[in-house]
Amino acid sequence: MRLIITGSPGTGKTTLAKSLGEKLNLTVLNEKDFALKNGIGSFNEENELEIPIKEFEEKANAFLKKTDDVIFEGHVVCEAKLHVDKAILIRVDPEDLEMRLENRNYSMEKVMDNVFCEGIDYCKKQVIKNYPIDKIIEVTSKASISGTLKAVLASLGK
């Protein structure tokens, strides 16, 4: 099984990917780690890795042709069209997201940018543009990872 897990920063992508990977015995790959390992992207003046989507898409799809049982997780994967079985989109109430990001000590500008993106359904629009509707699983981040994991497993028929 090949999956992506995407959503705004702070929605619980990494935590869900680790839990789902353990439960289903899937390798978990973070988009940034994959990009760095494959020489994709460069760091901007804020020391954030900027990943060119087309180059990421090409190298990730070449990797996916050779492997099964993997989860790609990260924000950028919503913008890429990857050859996967399911695209899992994690959503969270924008007010809850704001609190989560503030607790991570994000700058106010970054908090507001990500809350805005969640509010206008940026990731959802990208996922719908890149994947057939029958491949998309949309789940709301629960108070605990176990609730979110349970919802995803049910959607996957596991």
- Three-state SS string across the chain, please? CEEEEECCCCCCHHHHHHHHHHHHCCEEEEHHHHHHHCCCCEECCCCCEECCHHHHHHHHHHHHHCCCCEEEECCHHHHCCCCCCEEEEEECCHHHHHHHHHHCCCCHHHHHHHHHHHHCCHHHHHHHHHCCHHHEEEEECCCCHHHHHHHHHHHCCC
Residue 121 CA to its chain's centroid (Å): 14
Residues 6+ apart with CB under 8 A from 99: none
CA atoms within 13 A on the CB side of 141: 24
Residues 6+ apart with CB under 8 A from 45: none
**Segments of the chain scoring below 50 in pLDDT:** none
Q: Say what the pLDDT of residue 158 is.
A: 87
Determine the Cα angle at 57 with ends 54 and 62, to 5°: 130
Note the CATH number of domain 2-145.
Answer: 3.40.50.300
pLDDT in tens, 30-68: 999 999 999 999 999 988 899 999 999 999 999 999 999
Contact 21, 71 (CB under 8 A): yes
Q: Say what the pLDDT of residue 77 is.
A: 95
Q: Say what the pLDDT of residue 142 is.
A: 72
Residue 143 CA to its chain's centroid (Å): 18
Question: For the whole model, what pTM was predicted?
Answer: 0.93
Q: Say what the pLDDT of residue 144 is.
A: 82
